[in-house]
Each structure stands twice: as C-alpha cells, then as structure tokens.
Amino acid sequence: MDMPTPVILLKEGTDSSQGIPQLVSNISACQVIAEAVRTTLGPRGMDKLIVDGRGKATISNDGATILKLLDVVHPAAKTLVDIAKSQDAEGDGEAVRTTLGPRGMDKLIVDGRGKATISNDGATILKLLDVVHPAAKTLVDIAKSQDAEVGDGTTSVTLLAAEFLKQVKPYVEEGLHPQIIIRAFRTATQLAVNKIKEIAVTVKKADKVEQRKLLEKCAMTALSSKLISQQKAFFAKMVVDAVMMLDDLLQLKMIGIKKVQGGALEDSQLVAGVAFKKTFSYAGFEMQPKKYHNPKIALLNVELELKAEKDNAEIRVHTVEDYQAIVDAEWNILYDKSEKIHHSGAKVVLSKLPIGDVATQYFADRVMFCAGRVPEEDLKRTMMACGGSIQTSVNALSADVLGRCQVFEETQIGGERYNFFTGCPKAKTCTFILRGGAEQFMEETERSLHDAIMIVRRAIKNDSVVAGGGAIEMELSKYLRDYSRTIPGKQQLLIGAYAKALEIIPRQLCDNAGFDATNILNKLRARHAQGGTWYGVDINNEDIADNFEAFVWEPAMVRINALTAASEAACLIVSVDETIKNPRSTVDAPPAAGRGRGRGRPH
C-alpha cells in the first residue's frame, strides 16, 4: 500500500522556493554583492560614492564601510555581508570587486536620504548597499564579521566567497549534492590554513627594532589601497606609535580620532594623551588661564548652573523676604559646590553636565579652568589617562579622586580650539587629530586609519606574516591544485575549483591596475611552480616580484580569517536549498497601545 504524500501547511501568504533554482538564485545574488567592492581592491583600487536615504554622501574604498551602507534584503547575500563585516558571495562580490588593491577604484554611494559616501572599503560599501536577496545578505554579513574580527580584508573575503560560489555553480546546476561540495571545501580550507601556518615567517618579538619594522610594513600594506596611500609612510609610523602606547589589552576605544577641517594631511598629529574639542563656554571663560603645569583635574558628572524651575518645582511664597530667601538659597548651593571644588586643589574642572556663567566666572577669579558638556567618551578617556574617577557629587573631592597630568593646554588647531592633556601618568591612550579638506575625505581617512590600527593590533598579537599582493593566494592555489591531482573522484574537481577561485585576488589586482591579468597570472603560475613562494603582482612595474623582499607584508591571521570566513559563507549558501518568506500576519499583531487621552480609539 502506498504511503500518503505528506502535506505541510504554511500560513496564507507565505512565499516558498526550493531546489536547484533556489540554490542558483542564492549564488547569483552573492555574485552581485561582490561586484559592489570588486574595483576597490589593491593600491590602484577605485573609490565609491554612497548616498544614503537622508542624502548624506560617503566616499570610501573600504570594503567594510561600503558593505555597511548596503541595504541588503536577500537573506543569503545578507549573511555574506555580515561575515565580511565581522572580518572588517558572488552578487555582492561584484559590488566590491573593483575596490581591491592599491589601484582599486572608489565607489560613490548615495542613500535614500541623498547622503553621499565615497569609499573603497569593502565593508563600508556593503553596509550602504540596499540588498534585497536573502543569499546576498549572507555575503554582506560575512563582510561585517571580517571587519569586526580583523578590521581589514573585507573586499578579499567578499570576492573569495563569491568566486567559490561561481566555481561550483556549474556542479550545482548539474545536480551534484551540496554536501559533497561542502566536504571538499572544508578539506581544502583546512589544507590551505595549515599551509599558511607552515610557510608564514615569524618575527621575533624580543627584537624591538625588527618588530617595529614589521608593524610599519603591515600598516603600509593596509594603507596602500586607501585614499591616503601617498602618505602611507607618514601615517604608518603614526599608527604604530599609537598602538604601542596602549596597554597589553590593546583596546581600540583608547585611541581617539578627531577631525579638524583645513590644512594638509601632513598637518595631522598624534597626541600622547587626550585631546578633545573645546566645549561651549559662558562669559568669563576668556579670563581663565589656558595652560597649566602639573594641574590636578576634577572629573565631574555635576551640573553647576542656575536654572529657572518652571517644570520641576512649585513653590508658594507670601512675602518678598520668602522669595529672596529662595533665590539666596539657590545661589548659596551653587557657590557651596564651586567652593568645595576650589578647596579640593583642582585647577582643571571637567563636567559632563553644563557649567554656567556664574560658576565659570567664579573659577576664573580663582585662576582655574573649567569645561562643561564634555562628551562622556572624552571624559572617560581623560580618566583612563590622568587617573582619578568621575564624581557625581562634590562632597568627597579628595586627592585620590583627582587626575593629574604634566601639561594641560588649550590650543588653536585650524578653526577650532582643542584641550590637550599630555604627560599623563597612566597614559595608555592617545588621540589622532586629522587635518584635511572635504568632510567625506576626512571620514575616509579615519576609516583607513581604523583598518591600519586593526592590522597592527593583530600583528602584535600574532607575529607571523605572509606576503601580500596575491602571493599567498597563488602559492595556495598551486599547492591545492597539486594536491587535487593525488585524489580520485569528485573531490579532485571540487578542490581544483577551490584552487582556481583563489586566483581571483591577483587577477582582480591586475584588472584594477589596468594590467593584462592573463599574462601576469601565467608568469605567476610559472614562478610558483619553480618554487617562488612569495611572488605576487608588482603594481609599480606592471610585472611580478618577490613581495616579501618588497616588504608587502600582512599578518598571516588576516589571510587565515579571510579564507575561513569566505569558505564558510560559501558552504552556508550552498547548503540552503529552500527559502521560506513568512510575512508577519496582521491578524496576529498585538493591539496598538493607547496614544493619550481622547486619542486612543474612535468613539
């Protein structure tokens, strides 16, 4: 007797698609994502101008930034973007393909509000894209994960994931079971990771000169594909100095980046301590000194301002004397607070809340400096650098809770005034002050420095390096192609496809630089077959070169993370053969909350 066909009931309005067409659709959606960042790869990569829904423009060639700005709806593509972001497939790969490498192009992305963003950072571009296909969203997600984990390599991870999917698409269309593909890819990834660990060069941490040289080379490699590539030596030294100032935890939040329009890029500076923009000040501020040596610093979360109590209090008085007593009490409270701060010995007073004109003049008469409405982030960084603690009351101000520094100074930078705290006893923090022209350019400079800082942090924690410029990918491709010839069956074809996909990195570097990719890749294959492990694309001479000798270095962990994330994203997308969209039912929606008296519901 035949068994009855099972029936699965779905909610009315549910959209379902499955089988090979669904799998092919997911792969195609991921290819589109890769195109968004493809041309930003490498030193010759182009920038992207992205405009959001509010009309804000962002210019970037940073893959993470581009991917963040993408509005991805397709689930599979969204996953790919998230993985790239956490490091920082085929449909999304196209969006970032041209951003790869030193000659990569930038993207101009305009969002729904009209804001334009120019970037060649893969994660930035993918963040700004409006991606609808679920599979394409997967690609956006892997870009996010690459950005969060490593800070760089988002364009590479997106392109690799998209290329892996492109290479297996014919096998999927012929009906090859996805689990066979996944098994082969995981085997190839493990072999590739082991090979990277085997050939990576370790720099001894005991040799500080060698370690610093390594860190600067890694920073310059990260900056070579950015808008500020012409100043990469200047900024690489600055980035290494900044990271070396941090404690062993290397907390990213302890590096502040402030942007001041005007001046040249080379006018940018690194402050070994805390610097933040002068806050709004009241009358009397101009009488306060603007420089102190060895001052004590009071860090407060206290309001020192007289306020008209219109909303918060109701007081009934019967005589003029009663009213005068209330006014006098308010003034006495303010003077009492100010006097306690003065007697604590503090010369610099910072508060998260306002410091009004009366308190400002009081401090000026006593040769003290004050600033109210200081951003919480800057107040906390000042505490970390100068010591002390943030107080919510002035009743217990002792030497233990006051911070200290060698020099406090308010200085003019461009059209802005900045407060500097230098020579801090607990200075495990620093501040970049960036100079430049257009706002979008300075934002892209900040994103570029973020990538370089992340790479240097990673290099300090993991001192193994490999050569960039497509060298490591070509060596892995040769190794896996040789390995595939030693095994039988379908695995041979699939690992061969994986090996071919790795060549997308040097190929795209050539395309973005305007080189003959076929000729360069033929030379690279021949040289790697002869044992030239570190030969990659020579962007400057339109040829191939030993990129290790040319100091095109990057942390081995960055390539391992990118390879692992891209492979897992491809496996994830290949493993999905059905998508079910179940729109939220209006019947099941909770009742709307009341909206105030007389406006909740019609009578």
Residues 6+ apart with CB under 8 A from 398: 344
Of the candidates 556, 575, 574, 422, which has an alpha carbon nearest to the alpha carbon of residue 28?
574
Alpha-carbon gap, residue 580 to 569, rounded angstroms: 20
Of the candidates 527, 526, 475, which has an alpha carbon nearest to the alpha carbon of residue 503?
475
Alpha-carbon gap, residue 131 to 158, rounded angstroms: 14
DSSP designation for 367: T
Of the candidates 302, 272, 318, which has an alpha carbon nearest to the alpha carbon of residue 395?
302
Element (H, E) at 322: helix 320-343
Query: What are the DSSP calls for 126-191, one per residue?
Result: HEEEEE--BHHHHHHHHHHHHHHHTSS-HHHHHHHHHHHHHHHHHHHHTT--HHHHHHHHHHHHHH
Would you call 322 a catalytic residue per the annotation?
Answer: no
Residues 6+ apart with CB under 8 A from 470: 505, 506, 507, 509, 524, 536, 537
Of the candidates 251, 282, 219, 230, which has an alpha carbon nearest to the alpha carbon of residue 449?
219
Packing angle of the helix pair 135-149, 556-574 (nearest 10 deg): 160
Of the candidates 497, 469, 466, which has an alpha carbon nearest to the alpha carbon of residue 481?
497
CA atoms within 13 Å, Cβ hemisphere of 201 = 18
Q: Which residue has the tokens 């406090």?
A: 408
Q: Which of 82, 121, 152, 378 is catalytic?
A: 121
Would you call 463 a catalytic residue per the annotation?
Answer: no
Query: What one-letter code names the amino acid at 495?
Result: I
Residues 6+ apart with CB under 8 A from 436: 259, 261, 263, 264, 265, 268, 442, 445
Alpha-carbon gap, residue 6 to 335, rounded angstroms: 81
- What is the 3-state composition of the chain as percent helix, strand, coil, each rounded to the nearest 5? 45, 25, 30
DSSP designation for 70: E
Would you call 538 a catalytic residue per the annotation?
Answer: no
Q: Which of 451, 463, 511, 538 is catalytic?
A: 451
Token pair recorded at residue 67: 């991917």
Query: What are the DSSP calls for 227-254, one per residue?
Result: TTGGGHHHHHHHHHHHHHTS-TT--GGG
Would you call 451 a catalytic residue per the annotation?
Answer: yes
Q: Which of 154, 189, 564, 579 is catalytic?
A: 154
Token pair recorded at residue 207: 């040799």
Contact 498, 185 (CB under 8 A): yes
Q: Which residue has the tokens 């991606």?
A: 131
Residues 6+ apart with CB under 8 A from 532: 546
Q: Which of 65, 155, 360, 431 is catalytic?
A: 155
Contact 468, 283 (CB under 8 A): no
Biggest CA–CA distance in the chain, Å, is 103
Q: Which residue has the tokens 């808008």?
A: 227
Q: Which residue has the tokens 């068994």?
A: 3
Where in the sequence numbering do the catalytic residues fall? 121, 154-155, 451
